């Protein structure tokens, strides 16, 4: 099994009342990098994004086709299960609602999958209704590979492991299918405000 990259170290920042979920601290200007394996580097001319599974028809976008979709600017707080939070992060990308707009499905669950084999499961309701995006910029610049570029999922109301880096697609499913970290004992949903870090929380 791949070695999990180290998170950042250093002095904890002062907490920001009302902005931080229980057990979290403000990472300030740092943006820690954690991943479960090596960082993929997929050329954009070989990159695509797929919506598959319990759908009427598989949908697939090349990089150029994704860029032609309506773009949204998003400013959100993000929270890592390892206890750091980063406030007012600025992203740009494409609403999952846009990707699923023409998809007919009876699915209630989804599995996001990535280059490198990473997966994470989510209720479909956590990806729709303006709650999730496929993002390709951070802070006004193209998303770097260490932070999930060329594109990653962004689901800011859940712990950051649910925001799959190096996203290549979403599989819609009838049943809940645990992903990579969930099979190792992480919580099935991961709500930071309920401190759903591990199974049983």
- Distance of alpha carbon 124 from the chain centroid: 13
CATH T-level topology, domain 43-79+86-194: Sulfite Oxidase; Chain A, domain 2 (3.90.420)
Tens of pLDDT along the chain (201 residues) come to 333 433 333 334 445 568 899 999 999 999 999 877 789 999 999 999 999 999 999 999 999 999 999 999 999 999 999 999 999 999 999 999 999 999 999 999 999 999 999 999 999 999 999 999 999 999 999 999 999 999 999 999 999 999 999 999 999 999 999 999 999 999 999 999 999 999 988
How many angstroms separate the first and last alpha carbons of the chain? 26
Q: Specify the length of the chain in residues.
A: 201
- DSSP label at residue 55: S
Domain boundaries, the chain: 43-79+86-194
């Amino acid at each position: 099994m791949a070695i999990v990259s180290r998170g950042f170290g250093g002095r904890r920042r002062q907490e920001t009342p009302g902005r931080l979920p229980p057990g979290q601290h403000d990472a300030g200007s740092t943006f820690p990098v954690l991943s479960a394996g090596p960082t993929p580097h997929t050329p954009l001319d070989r990159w695509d994004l797929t919506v598959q599974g319990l759908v009427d028809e598989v949908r697939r976008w090349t990089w150029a086709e994704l860029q032609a979709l309506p773009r949204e600017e998003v400013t959100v707080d993000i929270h890592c299960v390892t206890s750091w939070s980063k406030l007012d992060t600025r992203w740009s990308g494409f609403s999952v609602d846009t990707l699923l707009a023409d998809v007919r499905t009876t699915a209630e669950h989804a599995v996001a999958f990535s280059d490198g084999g990473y997966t994470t499961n989510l209720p479909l309701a956590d990806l729709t209704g303006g709650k999730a995006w496929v993002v390709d910029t951070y802070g006004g610049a193209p998303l770097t590979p260490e932070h999930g570029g060329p594109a990653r999922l962004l689901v800011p109301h859940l712990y950051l492991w649910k925001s799959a880096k190096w996203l290549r697609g979403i599989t819609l499913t009838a049943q809940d299918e645990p992903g990579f970290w969930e099979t190792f004992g992480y919580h099935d949903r991961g709500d930071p405000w309920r401190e759903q870090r591990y199974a049983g929380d």
